[in-house]
Structure 1
Amino acid sequence: MRADAQKNYDHILAVANVVVTEQGAEASLRDIARRADVGLGTLYRHFPTREALLEALLRTGFDEFTAKARELETASSSDDALVSWLRDVVAFTGNYQGVVEAMMAAMEDPNSALHASCVTVRTAGTRLLTRAQAEGLARTDMDGDDLFSLAAALAWLGGQPSSAPRAEHHFNIIASAILTNRVSSDFRAQPPQ
C-alpha cells in the first residue's frame, strides 16, 4: 500500500474506532467518512463492507489477545491465565455495542470478514481452557466454543443498561462456574447490588 493510502487507512480506522465506540457496530459509515474528512468512496475502497471495517477494528485487539494467550500459557497459573484472558476479551468486546452479534454470526460463516479473527481468538482461549482442564482447574464438560459464547454473552450483558452495574458480579459467577477449584477472593460471587 502506498504511504498516502496507508495514512488514509490508518486515519479512517482511528476515526471509525471512536465512532463505533460511541455509536455501536451499526454506526453510520457516512458519518465515519465525514468525521475522517474523506469521501465515502475512499472509505469503501479501504473497507468495502461494514463487516470488513469491523474486522479491521477488532483484528488488532484480537491479535493482542492471541499473543497474550501465548504468554499466559507459560507465565501464570492456568486458572489465573484463563480468567485474565477472559476478562480482557469481555472488556474489549464490550467496548463496541452490537459487535457481539456480528462475531457470533461470523463464527458460523467462513466467508465472513470477521470469521478468521474470531476463530483465532476462540483458538487462543481454547488452549488456555484445555490447559486449565488438564490441571483439573476447569470443568471438563465445556470446550472453546462454549468459552467463546460465554465471553460474548458477558460482553453483551455488560452492554445492557439494566445489567451494566452488575457486570463484575456476572463475570465472577461465570468465572466461578468455569473454574473447579478457585480460591482467589477475586472470583467469589460479590453480593448483589
Structure 2
Amino acid sequence: MVTSSSTNRSSGPGGKAARTRRLLQCCTLDVIAETGEFTGEVVADRAGVSIGTFYSHFATKDHAIEACLAVCFEEYEKQTKQVESIEHLLDAGLEATLAAIVATITRLNGEYRGLLRLARARIQASHLLREQSRTEERRAFAATLRLIQLGQAAGRIRAGEPEVLTATVRTVLDGLDTWTIRAHPEVASREIPELLTRYLSPSAS
C-alpha cells in the first residue's frame, strides 16, 4: 500500500469537498496498489461515499489517474529535492549524492508501481495524461539541470554542455522503472551510481 492510512492522508486543510476529493485520491491509490486497477464503484465503496460522489470529483477514469499522479509526482519532487541538491553534493560527494538520488527514485517507483504502470497503459490515448507526464518530465529535467550547473560552478561536476549532461543523466534515471532493475537490484544500488559518477566526475573531463 502507498501509505498506511487513507483516513490520515485525507485530513489536510480545506473544506468538505476538498477533504472528500483527497480521500478519494487516497482510496484510489490504495486500490491500485493492491490490485493494479480500480473502478469508481470499488473506490467509492472503499471511501464510504456514493458512486455519484466519485464521478462528481473525477469526470473520467483518466481524471482520477491524473489526480493520483499529482500525489505521486508531488512525493517525487519532495523526496528527490532532499538529495538532488548542491548542499547534498558538497556535503556527501558526487557518488553518494547520485546513489541517494537513484535509491530515492527506485524506492518511489516501487511504491507507485501499479499507478505508473496503469498510467503508461493509458498515456497514448489520453491527452490529459500526456500533458501531465510532459510537465513532470520538464520539472525533473530542470531540477537535475540545476544540480549539474551548480555542481560545475563548484568544481564537483565535469565541464560540458549542462543540458547534454542532464539529458544523459535523466535518460538513465528514467530507465530505473524496469523489470531488469527489479530483477537485479544491485544495478540500482551499485552499478548505475558508479556509472553516473564516472560520467560526471571532474576527472572525466
CA 2–131 in structure 1, closer or farther in 2 if over 3 Å, else same: closer
> Offset at 1:133?
5.9
Deviations 1:55-112 (A, max 9, x none): 2221321230353234535553233223212220121023222516847x69xx7962
Unaligned runs of 5+ in 2: 1-12, 201-205
Is 1:31 the counterpart of 2:42 in the alignment?
A: yes
**1:112 matched to 2:123:** no
CA 1:150 to 1:94, structure 2 compared with 1: closer, same or farther past 3 Å? farther
Equivalent positions of 1:14-163 (< 5 A) are 14-24=26-36, 26-48=37-59, 49-65=63-79, 67-68=81-82, 69-70=84-85, 72=88, 75-98=91-114, 99=116, 102=119, 112-131=131-150, 135=155, 143-157=165-179
**Unmatched tracts of structure 1, length 5 or more:** 183-193
Offset at residue 12 of structure 1 (A)? 1.4
Contact map agreement 1:15 1:35 (CA 8 A) in 2? yes
The structure having more radius of gyration, on CA atoms, is: 2
Query: Is the Cα–Cα contact under 8 Å of residues 152 and 158 in structure 2 kept in the other structure?
Result: yes
**Given the two structures, how large is their TM-score scaled by the length of structure 2?**
0.64
1:6 aligns with 2:18: yes
Q: Which amino acid aligns with 1:9?
A: R
Question: CA offsets, 1:104-123, max 9 Å, x none?
Answer: x69xx796234323322232
- 2:190 corresponds to 1:172: yes
Compared CA separation, residues 143 and 54, structure 1 to 2 (3 A): farther
Normalising by structure 1, report the TM-score. 0.67
**Structure with more of its chain in helix, by fraction:** 2
Q: Percent identity?
A: 17
1:129, distance to aligned residue in structure 2 (A): 4.2
Question: Take 1:100 and 1:145, find their aligned partners in 2: how far apart are those partners?
Answer: 23
Aligned length: 175
